[in-house]
Structure formats: structure tokens, C-alpha cells
Amino acid sequence: AKQAIPIWLYVPALDDNEVAGEDAMLEKIAGETGFFTLNLKGSYGTTEPESIKIASWDFHPNARGHQMIADELIRQLKQNKALLEVLRAKR
């Protein structure tokens, strides 16, 4: 456990059950308790959720949706200098 790097990662769902402000509240708590935080809420931009679901009845992203998540994750990792330093030190 001493080698672990605590990272809180928020990946938005493609359903409409999101509780307004929940991600911000959880991110705040995670940051206050020593986690690095990455909030991918903006991953899908203005893309219509139905167009990136794996199926109309399934709220998981399809390949395009996963690519959008990956792109946002990489963008945020590159911008988070403190986390990058810690990750590089673990090599």
C-alpha cells in the first residue's frame, strides 16, 4: 500500500440519472483526503449520448465513446504536473 498512488477518477455515465453536483462534491472530498483527481465529465462534449452507447438499452459507451474518454484522460494527465511527477518517480 505504501507504493500506491491514490487517484480519484470520475467517468460520466450515459444515462440520465446523474445527480447534479455529485461529481464536484466527490472530487472535493477526494482532493481533501489526498487523492489526485481527474474528472472526465466533459469527455463526450456535445455529442448525443445515444450515438455513443453500445446499445440503446445499455448505458455503456461504444468504441467511439471509449475513445472520447481516453482522449480526455490523456489530456488531463498531461496537464496534471503534480501527478505526472509522482508517476514518473515510480518508474
What is the predicted pLDDT for the residue at 16? 75
What is the predicted pLDDT for the residue at 57? 92
Q: pTM of this prediction? A: 0.85
Q: At what angle do helices 81-89 and 63-79 cross, to 10 degrees?
A: 90
What is the predicted pLDDT for the residue at 32? 98
CA pair distance 91, 89, nearest whole angstrom = 6
Query: Which tens digits make up the pLDDT trace of 8-58?
Result: 999 988 987 777 888 999 999 999 999 999 999 999 999 999 999 999 999
Q: Sign of the C-alpha dihedral, residues 79, 85, 70, 10?
A: negative
What is the predicted pLDDT for the residue at 21? 85
- E-only strand ranges, the chain: 7-10, 36-39, 53-55, 58-61
pLDDT(1) > 80: no
What is the predicted pLDDT for the residue at 18? 73
What is the predicted pLDDT for the residue at 13? 87
CA pair distance 25, 17, nearest whole angstrom = 16
